[in-house]
Structure 1
Amino acid sequence: MKLLMIEDNKSVSEMMSMFFRKEKWDVEYAYDGLEAIDIFKKDPESWDMITLDLNLPGMDGLQVNAELRKISPTVPIIILTARDSESDQVLGLEMGADDYIVKPFSPITLIARIKALHRRAEMPPLGKNGIVAEESNDGYDVVTSHFKLNSKTREAYLSGKPINDLTPKEFDLLKTLAQKPRQVFSRDQLLQLVWDYEYYGDERTVDAHIKKLRQKIEKAGPQVIQTVWGVGYKFDDSGVSDK
């Protein structure tokens, strides 16, 4: 894995470097936002993961996150922040981050989160009961009346129009819902299925990602992610017209 760690606290970087070396990951460090953007934009496709501190000199971490998303809509981003307010955490997720960890954090926890996010981004298509699915003739492993999704190419289409710029977590969330049309998923279920670990009831994470996902779906066609009040969310494209 090739990882970019954007962190102005060198002691944190040095501590994490020991754990990264143990994993045999290729890691580069940036100590301010402008430096990080310059490093990343040289070869955006080469990076597998970014960890991003919010309290950076020169440019705020949320601004850095926004600039990184302009360069690459899909690279996985984990925010590291000492800001534990709900507004900062939700804003980071709404701006395209895939996960966040509040400082101080355990290095083992960060390693586990990175692995989980990378595993979800790289995993092959899954069919029923968690078995790797064989692709259909046209290459799409999730197909409904008006929607199709290819896990290998990370592409999704609604009525033939692409749903563009999905982050890894948004793609996984859409896939999870679309695999079982009209089934209602609670927020806790989605946390376990999509994030691959417990979030201890932090339902704001799901809501923030649903909001961004809906915005991107609406650019392609009618809204197919529906809220079931008091329960959670479901995918339903039965009301989509072919016209």
Structure 2
Amino acid sequence: MAARDDPATDRAPDRGLVVVVEDESVIADVVRRYLTAAGFAVRICRTGQEGLAAVRADRPVAIVLDIGLPDMDGLDLCRRLRDGGDWTPVLFATARDEDVDRILGLELGGDDYLVKPFNPRELVARVRAVLRRAGGPGGAGAAALRVGRVRIDPGRRRVWVDPDPARPAAGGEEREVDLTATEFDLLLHLARSPGRVFERAGLLSAVWGYASAAGARTVDVHVAALRAKLGDASPIRTVRGVGYAADDR
């Protein structure tokens, strides 16, 4: 753990540690003040390598990650974490507003995305929303549910896919699928109402906690990521011009 006299770390008792990987001192200090006021402990890291080491050592509840770091691309840092099996929620905060960066960041396993300059209150709200998603809906006693070949355990926040019954010669066993907190909650929200068509704005409000026309692409990217991970067992159906549904087939 980071030492208590570490000048880059503020300790607060309530909500856990947030690692902020940001090389711009003014922005880092503002983010630190607002997160600390909201009850989080904060560790500021100025480089990607420092951030990677802090995440691995301190096990934060969330990461606020700039993309344009001096030593490593923030997207690469996120990729390394996900490839290593670390699914700590990641909120990208960056001056790069290009759609390709936003999409790539979410495809790599980011949970949300803010473009600089941003309102620090909105950043705190987004961090809280990401943590609500990471903590569940559901609970330890929530009943498991199934949609098609996909089995979801809301209490343990785990997902499994059955082998394809149309290919018995292939054999195989049920496999577990690793999802980000946001991917899990999106799948769970759709699966709890099989066949119901959800508009993108409604999904943004229910899963991300906000709604905007600019965020509609975020839903599309997360659906694409879910489909890639679930493979041919994915129950998600696109309703052109409207949104998405999960079919129990």
Residue aligning to 1:31: 46
How many Å apart are 1:42 and its aligned residue?
Answer: 2.8
Alpha-carbon distance change, 73 to 167 in structure 1, aligned in 2, over 3 angstroms: farther
Once the two structures are superposed, what CA deviation does each residue of 1:9-61 show, in whole Å capped at 9, x if it has no partner?
Answer: 11111112222221221211111111111222235xx3210000011001111
Once the two structures are superposed, what CA deviation does each residue of 1:100-129 show, in whole Å capped at 9, x if it has no partner?
Answer: 00000111110111111111221341xxxx
Task: Tell me if 1:232 matches 2:243.
Answer: yes
Contact 1:155 1:162 in 2 (8 A): no
How many Å apart are 1:217 and its aligned residue?
Answer: 0.4
Contact 2:23 2:69 in 1 (8 A): yes
Residue aligning to 2:178: 165
Task: Give 1:81's aligned amino acid.
Answer: T
Residue aligning to 2:119: 106
Task: Tell me if 1:155 matches 2:176.
Answer: no
Task: Give 1:135's aligned amino acid.
Answer: A
- After TM superposition, the score normalised by the length of structure 1 is 0.85
- After TM superposition, the score normalised by the length of structure 2 is 0.83
Task: Give 2:159's aligned amino acid.
Answer: A
CA RMSD of aligned residues (A): 1.9
For the residue of structure 1 that corresponds to 2:244, the secondary structure is strand
Contact 1:96 1:167 in 2 (8 A): yes
Q: 1:190 aligns with which of 203, 214, 218?
A: 203
Deviates more, 1:25-34 or 1:153-162: 153-162
Deviates more, 1:86-95 or 1:170-179: 86-95
For the residue of structure 1 that corresponds to 2:238, the secondary structure is strand
- Structure 1 segment 171-186 matched on structure 2, within 5 A: 171-186=184-199
How many Å apart are 1:201 and its aligned residue?
Answer: 4.3
Counterparts of 2:84 and 2:101 in 1: how far apart (Å)? Answer: 22
Counterparts of 2:224 and 2:142 in 1: how far apart (Å)? Answer: 30
Contact 1:163 1:217 in 2 (8 A): no
How many Å apart are 1:191 and its aligned residue?
Answer: 0.9
Deviates more, 1:106-115 or 1:229-238: 229-238
Task: Tell me if 1:41 matches 2:56.
Answer: yes
Alpha-carbon distance change, 145 to 205 in structure 1, aligned in 2, over 3 angstroms: closer
Task: Tell me if 1:63 matches 2:84.
Answer: no
Counterparts of 1:63 and 1:158 in 2: how far apart (Å)? Answer: 29
How many Å apart are 1:192 and its aligned residue?
Answer: 1.0
Alpha-carbon distance change, 41 to 133 in structure 1, aligned in 2, over 3 angstroms: closer
Extract unaligned runs of 5+ from structure 2.
1-15, 163-172
Task: Give 2:150's aligned amino acid.
Answer: F
Counterparts of 1:237 and 1:124 in 2: how far apart (Å)? Answer: 21
Counterparts of 2:241 and 2:86 in 1: how far apart (Å)? Answer: 31
For the residue of structure 2 that corresponds to 1:202, the secondary structure is helix
Counterparts of 2:149 and 2:180 in 1: how far apart (Å)? Answer: 21
Contact 1:41 1:71 in 2 (8 A): no
Extract unaligned runs of 5+ from structure 1.
126-131, 239-243
How many Å apart are 1:227 and its aligned residue?
Answer: 1.3
Contact 1:49 1:75 in 2 (8 A): yes
For the residue of structure 1 that corresponds to 2:19, the secondary structure is strand
For the residue of structure 1 that corresponds to 2:225, the secondary structure is helix
In the alignment of these two chains, the number of paired residues is 224
Once the two structures are superposed, what CA deviation does each residue of 1:186-205 show, in whole Å capped at 9, x if it has no partner?
Answer: 21111111101123442110
Q: 1:54 aligns with which of 56, 67, 85?
A: 67
How many Å apart are 1:72 and its aligned residue?
Answer: 3.5
Deviates more, 1:148-157 or 1:93-102: 148-157
Residue aligning to 2:90: 77
Task: Give 2:161's aligned amino acid.
Answer: L
